[in-house]
Structure 1
Amino acid sequence: MTAQNLQVYKSNDLMTANYKLTVAETRIILTCIAKIDRDRNNVVTDNEMYGFTAREFAETCGISLMAAYSDLKEAVDQLFERKILLSMNDRERKTRWIQTADYIAGEGRVELRFSKDILPYLVDLQGNFTKYSLNAVARLSSPHAFRMYELIIKHRFKCNPTALIFIEDIRFSLALDDAYPLYADLRKRVIEPALEMINAVTDIKILGFEPKREGRKIVAIEVSYAERADFSMDPVQESLISEKDETPKPAKTTRKRKPGPITEKEINAAARPGESTQEVIARLTAERRRAEPVATY
């Protein structure tokens, strides 16, 4: 599978719903959404199962095969418990993303069945929905970046390429609850890192954002962006898809060498629940740096 031609379709109500998913869980959900048959002559029911293999997942997300196996097995264990809060006209509805989750160990394959309540937000969408390429988001490595991307592109087809996003919508959609009550902290810890990552790996270029006020209170941000007409994913290095540890052995020398690249074995041994592969690598890199001797003069 390549994500090149796979499209994610979501009702705008689902685009702004309240939920928390890890990076791996988000990637799984979006990939399964993109697998839904969009043939108008086909009636989609909640009996359908949507799946893919670890190798497909690795190639799409630009991660190693070993990391893909680990991410899929852990995420499937958690996905069945994940809830979503939908804001409706006269009520708020709490439901689940899926009703069935299978991990087929012998094939390294995941299969999901969406819940009956979620399916109307994914199929038979006649209006008030957003479509985007799975390719555009597959390599995001932050849950906040996934959600901020969706809040931005919900405004995509306006003549003016800007998105006015209310702070309360950011807090609700990202399920921040009481975290970062001050705008300065929200900007530093959530908004700016998410926009930087979106700018780095997706199909839109973030040109900047500006806070909007009512009186002295900041109530929204206006994000300016541009489409990347030539966007495409960087090719995946073949070594990432290999099941073997290809880490080069250090040459024999009496000089002390810097530590080699972090291996897949180290990543899998050190991973904590909910961490993406990129987050594990960042943490191990920081730990290595702290362990280095401090130069004195």
Structure 2
Amino acid sequence: MSTPGNEGVTSVQVRQHNAITTARYEMSACEMDIVFALLSKLSSQDKPGTMYQVRVRELEMLTGRQWNYKQLLESTEQLNSRIYHIEDKAKVLQVGLLASAEYLKGKGIIELEISEKMRPYLIDLKSNFTSYHLQAALSLTSKFAKRVYQLVSQWKDVGHTKTYSLDEFKYMLNLKDPKGKEPEQYVSVADLQRYVLKVAVAQINERTDLNISYELLKSSRAYDRVKFFINAQEPKQLLIPFELPADDARAQMARKHLETMGIVDAKLVHEILGSPKLTEALFGFVYKLKTEKIKADKNPGGLFLKMNGLR
């Protein structure tokens, strides 16, 4: 699905059944990015057995992160084994997302096939869906931020979520096993806030079209429930120009990265964007900044220029 973005740029929305949004599953950030890219390609006109192609270069363009062959193979292998637990009043469905994943060597393409049991939740949506912006979902680096963003998007027209018990919230993020077979993660509320809630809120507010906050609620003396509050805001990240050729879209993202780092001198910008080597170095530098492999809190632009002999 797509909705008009600013200045003719298309802001792609992903839609998924609310049963999927609230399902319990575990995924890495890389797996989620592949899934978000896959969901953006779905159409209600698709037939069973449709193969969807996700291009590695497209993923890198969308996320600003670099994926190698080993990472992608591991992620698609994990996606083939991940199980969604979808429960309603009548049944509990345990289902995998993918029927198959195939990496085309030398082409940088992953071909993905959706399992037929999952298809109704993804394609036959009718009125029961969650929509969220693809570029926002991809811009988040924390897997918890990605999941919370999906969750709050389900309630964005209301302005707040329902009140979740902490157990229910942890089940959805796979931090707690309903059967008690796996050890619970972030048992203390302080750790849950520090490593999950605060990280998710900070990233969502900084990088997406939503501004959220949360409230922890007590029963007796102990915190045991959480509720999120949601407001719309102008997205801070660059809208992904899907209607442009990949090279043009990549150049637009590179220009935005330079602007964010304070590199606005026309001559420098022209030199960097005109050099494939420098452009690749730019995306690599941004990735290392995001993953904190490079520390440059005060002047990342100056550090980039110095590292590449431009200053």
Could you say whether these structures have the same fold, taking a TM-score greater than 0.5 normalized by the shorter chain as the test?
yes
* Alignment partner, residue 16 of structure 2: 10
Q: Give the 3 Å change call, closer, same or farther, for CA 191–279 of structure 1 in structure 2.
A: farther
CA distance in 1, matches of 2:69, 2:10: 22
Equivalent pairs, count: 252
Q: 1:236 Cα deviation (Å)? A: 2.2
- Aligned residue in 2 for 1:100: 100
CA distance 1:155–1:54, shift in 2 (3 Å): same
1:30 — aligned with what?
36
Distance 1:62 1:136 in 2: 12
The structure whose RCO (Cα within 8 Å, separation 6+) is larger is 1
Matched, 1:121 2:121: yes
- The answer to which of 87-96 and 2-11 deviates more is 2-11
Q: CA deviation at 1:216?
A: 2.6
Deviation at 1:205, TM superposition (A): 1.7
Report the Cα offset of residue 139 of structure 1: 1.0
Q: Does 1:227 align with 2:232?
A: yes
Residue type of the partner of 1:217?
A
SS at match of 1:236: helix
Bigger drift between 25-34 and 44-53 goes to 44-53
Summarize the Cα distance change of 1:225–1:157 in structure 2 as closer, same or farther, 3 Å threshold.
closer
Query: Aligned residue for 1:49?
Result: 51
The DSSP-based 3-state class of the residue aligned with 2:31 is: helix
In structure 1, the residue corresponding to 2:157 is in which secondary structure?
coil
Evaluate the alpha carbon distance shift between residue 216 and residue 90 of structure 1 in structure 2; reply closer, same or farther with a 3 A threshold: farther
Q: Select 1:185's aligned residue among 191, 195, 198.
A: 191
CA separation in 2, counterparts of 1:129 and 1:247? 38
Q: TM-score, normalised by structure 1?
A: 0.74
Letter in 1 for 2:110: V
| CA shift for structure 1 position 68 | 5.9
Q: 1:46 to 1:215 in 2, by over 3 A?
A: farther
**Structure having the larger proportion of residues in helix:** 2
Cα deviation for residue 213 of structure 1 reads: 2.3
The match for 1:194 is 200
- What letter corresponds to residue 160 of structure 2 in structure 1? T
| CA deviation vs aligned residue, 1:177-218 (integer Å, no higher than 9, x gap) | 211222222112211111111111111123x32212233332
What 5-or-longer segments of structure 1 have no aligned partner? 249-260, 265-276, 287-297
Match of 2:64 in 1: 62
Give the equivalent residue in structure 1 for 2:161: 163
On the 8 A contact 2:29/2:142 being kept in 1, the answer is yes
Alignment match, 2:253 = 236
Judged with a 3 Å threshold, the aligned counterparts in structure 2 of structure 1 residues 71 and 132 are, in CA distance, closer, same or farther, namely: same
Q: CA deviation at 1:153?
A: 1.5
**TM alignment of 1:270-281, pairs within 5 A:** 281=291
The residue identity in structure 1 corresponding to 2:139 is R
TM-score (normalised: structure 2): 0.71
Closer/same/farther in 2, CA of residues 68 and 9 from structure 1, 3 Å limit: farther
Matched, 1:172 2:177: no
- Could you tell me how far 1:278 is from its partner in structure 2? 6.0
Counting aligned pairs with the same residue, the percent is 25
Deviations 1:212-245 (A, max 9, x none): 22333323223223212355427522779x8757
Distance 2:10 2:63 in 1: 12
Q: For residue 247 of structure 1, report the CA deviation from its aligned partner.
A: 8.8
Deviation of 1:281 after TM superposition, in Å, equals: 3.6
C-alpha distance 230-96 of structure 1, shift in aligned 2 (>3 A)? closer
1:210 to 207, 215, 221: 215
Spell out, residue by residue over 1:236-286, the C-alpha distance to the aligned partner (whole angstroms, 9 max, x if none): 22779x8757798xxxxxxxxxxxx9968xxxxxxxxxxxx669943x458
Comparing 100-109 with 182-191, greater Cα deviation is found at 182-191
Write the distance in 2 (CA, Å) between the matches of 1:15 and 1:168. 16
Q: CA 1:220 to 1:45, structure 2 compared with 1: closer, same or farther past 3 Å?
A: farther
CA RMSD of aligned residues (A): 3.2
